[in-house]
Structure 1
């Protein structure tokens, strides 16, 4: 087997899924993660369509279903907290006989880490600062640890990928801002009804609370329209200042309490809603997977799906090509890009969550109250382009099963 030593940057959904399949195919992956430990925070993510098949082949789908977020649906409230429109997501899924599952990102990351225990080398609290490719491999320089030699490097390190910056160029060439910013963090569960995502809107802004039926920790959500801001996404104080600037004047509903909660969360998440568009996901011995290569933005609801399927395909193509990376990277992109292109067309999701005018809010509320909504969801599912080819069944190396 060629190119057995593979470094993966990011202990993410994509990174850990890739590591799992690489081991099964006889490779020797190492995962380096900037954080001092596993990142177990995050919002709800969807395992659906062919990503369910990937999870089943990994033997984790039963655990995913047990840990499912168990959310009934979305409701929109007025300033007094009265429900003015609802979308019964669970009911629609039942009628459409959908097998998809929503799970908190942190729960899925933990499941992936557990199945990799003892088979994958993890290096936490470190990151890549230099990549020096040559004909035989890559010398990788780390922020803290000594330099090491690998055959291939895979960036699975998210929207602001460090590997992408080092190997492909500056972020602004690939990350496309979608005129919105998004924040979430821990919240008091008493502020929202169990098993519902509750949202309060003013023009161009949304404050909400997410209550999972299986997780006692509620999440506060904030979205607001804005042109691109000159902000450091890794600086929580910058995030806190911007949220205060944007939402401190709103005293209605539970906005002040949700704002107080998210401002005191040490793991507050704040970032642009953005997509990554690249002409190629590989250069030489370096490739990208997941959000680093093709983030569709949280508004798409497709991040976990693209990560699971993309990582599965990348590992499988490397195995099929016996480690010949140029051929494998080409086949991975050729087979996965059609799905990425489709998922990056996110449709009306942002207009649903954060209408930009009072008229838009009223129209949204009217539409969500109509019985036609369920029929529309069904028709969208029926009319949506189907995956043209079945998921390949890459055969694991017998010695590693």
Structure 2
């Protein structure tokens, strides 16, 4: 990674302005951006930086975490997002980093199988996609692909932004103020950068909380995603990784459904890590299966992460020189199966439109025009999601187990796979000449 000094100040003449990087800007005429600030170094941010660099546009990434975050659960790359990786030349690297998960198995308290949904040859169908990878592993691949060409600043975040005719003056929480042509927020569902420029964003709560952590692997563990539906609207999950451990997930339904302002925090997002550990111990005590094993690992889990699941509803994805992408723009939620794919595709399209136009306003409009229908399909969840898969009553739980047994038979499994497959292929990926790989 290379650091970047503070750029020289602009010198302003009567008819023209010499701006950061020595670029000539004629008054009143739009010119293409040469330096973009991206907030967030998970998936969408590094992916956008990759494509901007290929287009000849300088990018700086700022990430509030003090160092690279290697943690994270299984995510999947589906449909046209696989083509984005192919065009980037990264598909083989991501395929080599997959978890080896064989499929999804719903289990009873004694670990007997209720239904199995093995991985298929499809790039879209099934709970387990053909390209399952840990969030941290995918982020590492993306960052490795850009670190020689992109400035990456850890341990800081945007504190204020002031837009003018020439760019955006950005104040940081710790670093010195700097100027950029554009700012793109890619820092997640509860983006702090987004909050500085957009006051009309809302979050649609789905009535589900998720807690993630890594636990030691045992001899009894295999390479299936094991999903245990627990009483009272909860579930416990164990999934394999490629690092000799297991990724655990505890979920619980809540009554928090409907839209609220993005700045308003609810449920799990209001608790400290200590409060969440205590909450999980109360909630899952005596839940059965491997719940006690997961609870016993809470104190030693340095990667505990928890969230209230929701979808971002933003009426616009740009305001002047500031734009949104990834979860900051449209979070579809983990239950959609589309979060990572939308992030990869959106970054490619945003970079392509910026590379294809001298006017950032036109580029932002074209990006939103292309992506919004795809995002809306990705946010359109099957009826009853996620409550139907997490029934609160014992009769509802018994019914779910009966349905799962039937759904696990080959003909029904195939039909369900087609019916509930995420719409990952329902997008015509544009060709942008300036993003083509140079031999």
Q: TM above 0.5, one fold?
A: yes
Given that 2:335 and 2:386 are in contact with CA atoms closer than 8 Å, whether structure 1 keeps it comes out as yes
- In the alignment, the residues of structure 1 paired with residue 103 and residue 296 of structure 2 have an alpha-carbon distance, to the nearest angstrom, of 25
How much does 1:203 deviate?
Answer: 2.5
* 1:87 paired to 2:109: no
CA shift digits 1:83-117 (9 cap, x unpaired): 2x122231474998998411111111111011112
Note if 1:337 corresponds to 2:372: yes
User: Which residue does 1:160 correspond to in 2?
Assistant: 190
* DSSP 3-state at the match of 1:88: strand
Match of 1:259 in 2: 295
State which drifts further: 259-268 or 346-355. 346-355
Give the structure with the higher percent helix. 1
Distance 1:49 1:134, change over 3 A: same
**Which structure has the bigger radius of gyration?**
2
State the Cα deviation string for residues 292-343 of structure 1 (Å, max 9, x = none).
0100111111111000000000000001113x11101111011001111111
Shift of 1:362: 2.4
The match for 1:380 is: 419
Contact kept? 2:123, 2:131, Cα under 8 Å: no
Which of 384, 397, 401 aligns to 1:361? It is 397
Where structure 1 has 5 or more consecutive residues not aligned to the other structure, the ranges are none
Query: Which of 176, 179, 187 is residue 204 of structure 2 equivalent to?
Result: 176
* C-alpha distance after superposition, 1:56-77 (max 9, x if no partner): 0010101111111221222222
Superposition deviation, residue 344 in structure 1 = 0.7
TM-score by length of 1: 0.91
Cα separation, partners in 2 of 1:399 and 1:355, compared to 1, 3 Å = closer
What's the offset of the Cα at 1:219? 1.1
Match of 1:126 in 2: 156
CA distance in 1 between counterparts of 2:71 and 2:158 reads 23
Checking the alignment, whether the CA contact within 8 Å between 1:220 and 1:262 is kept in structure 2 is no
Give the Cα–Cα distance (whole angstroms) in 2 for the partners of residues 358 and 92 of structure 1. 36
Matched, 1:189 2:225: no
Cα 1:368–1:331 shift into 2, 3 Å: same
2:119 match: secondary structure: helix
Distance 2:123 2:347 in 1: 29
1:328 alignment counterpart: 363
Residue 20 of structure 1 corresponds to which residue in structure 2?
50
Secondary structure of 1:226's match? strand
Judge which range, 282-291 or 255-264, deviates more: 255-264
Match of 2:381 among 346, 356, 380: 346
What is the aligned length? 394
Q: Which residue of 2 aligns with 1:204?
A: 233
- The alignment status of 1:235 with 2:277, answered yes or no, reads no
- Cα drift, residue 400 of structure 1: 7.9
- Structure 2 gaps of 5+ residues are 1-30, 257-265
Partner of 2:310: 274
